[in-house]
Chain A
């Protein structure tokens, strides 16, 4: 960071006189006597003023840099999207290209992005569209394949070093137009362009439909944008076999199972967007109504949160007016909130909101970093350093070997991890790799444990960026997750299992006796192995929880409620209790469904995280509000004191 900030002021300072105007530039190149001169003439001989000036300059530059980075990030995102949708390019190729640029120029030059973007757009516009494909005219295969070929070439020249494109089989998304619309009948009418109906087989250079409306009528583009038919808002490919995927997507369309497995079949069928299909219009209307209601509740909750955040700011300002730039003073687990207003009002408000609704998207980054303690341990530059540092010891190498085995196997049905359309890794694949590598280098004593990949992978789908997630992972291990005999959560598999045995043998009967009886009647089930799996993935791996609900559960994992009896913050055993009561709460939500299953294996399959088997099974969608209700009720009745006793007994 400092490297680029010094190169930011490019004009080399040769004479002393220039220094006065541009501090923070090449001051370090001056002789001490010259610096003294500067201090004397400009700062009345007070070096502190110079330091202030320097640090101010630095801060400004840092701010500029952040803004710049943000901007280039959004540009990059847009570019990804464009390239993916229209450019026949895989995310990996774009990634490579971009990182190549970055290495050459230290900081990605925004004009470069512009160049690439405009190149891309112009080549896409130059692309030939087979007008013979318009409604009512029979398909003529030859010009169609020609056009897609030329399209590929243009892009190959403008963005790639060509070679890779030719050696690899043509990408499945060969003709982007075709892949967006399943048949010619589904092509949207965009007034003049296509209505002028050129004769079949006559090739004219017409801008692709989507680009005609690009920037002017957002309706079409947004439709394609959001509902890229098979991909939901978190990037999961919608597919029957993965229950979460189907549930969290707004509009799920049938997809062919073969697509996922065979490398060759193009995604041309069933990819249709809901254009020109009247039957579905009603359905959409209904959905819109539902979403309106949904939105209004959301709005209310968000206002409540806004007010809370304002109150927090106000209080922290009252306490310390000089610290006006402190945005929030939550502290780890929200503990500081109690000190804030002298009584528990703000704290309780905060806890209640989190329990009930989870944290809204816009505050998540801030609050997660603050609550987990990640902000306290974050040191700028360390993450980058870890990324650049070589592997020095065998222990780390072993961890990295295991990580390498799992990278491809993390969220394989998510577009950002595994671009199934192009059969290439997505951008998050590399982020996951860097985070996990850096983690095992930084915390070799914890190392990599399967489950972390899924936790980090899923966090990458949230609003946090790569480096934040790295620190968040460390904070999770050190502050949030229960430790066992002072060993990290992830190093305590056997003891975690033991807690789950206790859960099965003692707590299940106490809190969900009917279910317990049912399981015993079926011959006894080793659900401890299954619930242990839930713990190790922090409850991500549950097919009855959609991703939005999981994020809310994660919000709640980060707050360590002050214990009523001792008035202390949670210790490790209390945290284990929290995991136990959460697990029981989930089982409680599932109780009716489980009672309806009358053989062992169905229950195992129902509860296990693997959903590749028996696709016909129906899963309850656990509602977050129900879950909290049960969780709060149960957690009041589980004490760490008892848990410790039970651990000794079993």
Chain B
């Protein structure tokens, strides 16, 4: 399990209300898997995943935090040294969007100045129309795309709508973050090493999952 270490390590933290799908997004990203009833995260969970974006290999060191308000006091310990954060809400739960606003604000106030933040509206599959793939089911969506986009524009965030269930746009989030992170300590890796097992090559399969990328990048 030991890799040569050409990869840039990026410390990334996931924040967001309970049950919005933080752990599910990570599970999709790391193991390309989904569970209907994912157990709540207690405290936090640590995971890593390497991925290749173009020439670069990035190793994400992910802290997936617990969503319950009770655990909020621990959050600063996770985002303190983080270079990237994903703030997640559930597009069918308006309260989770309010919570996301709070997290964004807190990150801007407390976290590192140059932290890259992605705002992610998850559970897109719930609003998706079964038959077509085009159009949306009525009434299920509670947070509009515009609301998300506006917040992202105001605060200078990346923005995506995703589904951990169908894997729609999930990898794109991590590519987007990888692209935006300054190439600071990156050691160029030789191309042969890019497809080591345990890595996924995001640059090739990214577009195969989702077809409607809401992000500007």
Contacts and interface: CB of A to CB of B under 8 A. Distances in A.
Interface in A432-489: 449-451, 453-454
B33 to A, nearest CB: 7
Interface stretch (A62-70, A109-117, A356-364, A600-608): A600-608
A612 B27 contact: yes
A402 B42 CA distance: 13
Interface in A515-569: 526, 529-530, 532-533, 536-537, 541
Contacts of A605: 46-47
Contacts of B140: none
Interface stretch (B64-72, B155-163, B173-181): B64-72
Nearest to A607: B46
Contacts of A412: 35-39
A613 B42 contact: no
Interface in A107-164: none
B2 interface: yes
User: Interface size bucket, B side?
Assistant: 20 to 34
Interface string A596-636: 00111110110011101110000000000000000000000
A612 B33 contact: yes
A493 B46 contact: no
Contact of B46 (A402, A494, A608): A608
Contact of A451 (B27, B42, B46): B42
B119 interface: no
B202 interface: no
B54 to A, nearest CB: 24
Given A409-B19, A450-B68, A493-B70, A613 B43 contact: no
A493 B74 contact: yes
A441 to B, nearest CB: 18
B28 to A, nearest CB: 11
Contacts of B30: 613
B1 A602 contact: yes
A402 B71 contact: no
Contacts of B37: 408-409, 412, 418
B97 to A, nearest CB: 16
Contacts of B34: 261
Nearest to B46: A604
A602 B3 CA distance: 12
A497 interface: yes
B80 to A, nearest CB: 11
Contacts of B74: 493-494, 497, 529
A323 interface: no
Interface in B73-104: 73-74, 77
B47 A536 contact: no
User: Interface size bucket, A side?
Assistant: 35 or more
A405 interface: yes
A410 interface: yes
B42 A537 contact: yes
Contacts of A604: 46-48
B210 interface: no
A536 B31 contact: no
A44 B46 CA distance: 78
Contacts of A491: 70
A406 interface: yes
A260 B38 CA distance: 12
A410 B39 contact: yes
Given A493-B74, A529-B43, A541-B42, A405 B35 contact: no
B47 A601 contact: yes
Nearest to A500: B43
A402 B72 CA distance: 14
Nearest to A405: B19
Q: What are the 10 closest A-B residue pairs judged by CB atoms, nearest first? A: A412-B37, A533-B43, A405-B19, A604-B46, A601-B48, A450-B40, A408-B37, A450-B68, A533-B42, A451-B42
20 contacts: A402-B18, A405-B40, A406-B19, A406-B40, A409-B37, A412-B35, A412-B36, A450-B66, A450-B71, A526-B46, A533-B43, A536-B42, A600-B48, A601-B1, A608-B45, A608-B46, A610-B23, A612-B33, A612-B35, A613-B27
Given A491-B70, A493-B71, A497-B43, 15 more contacts: A402-B18, A402-B68, A405-B19, A406-B40, A409-B19, A451-B42, A526-B46, A529-B46, A532-B43, A599-B1, A600-B48, A601-B1, A604-B47, A608-B46, A612-B35
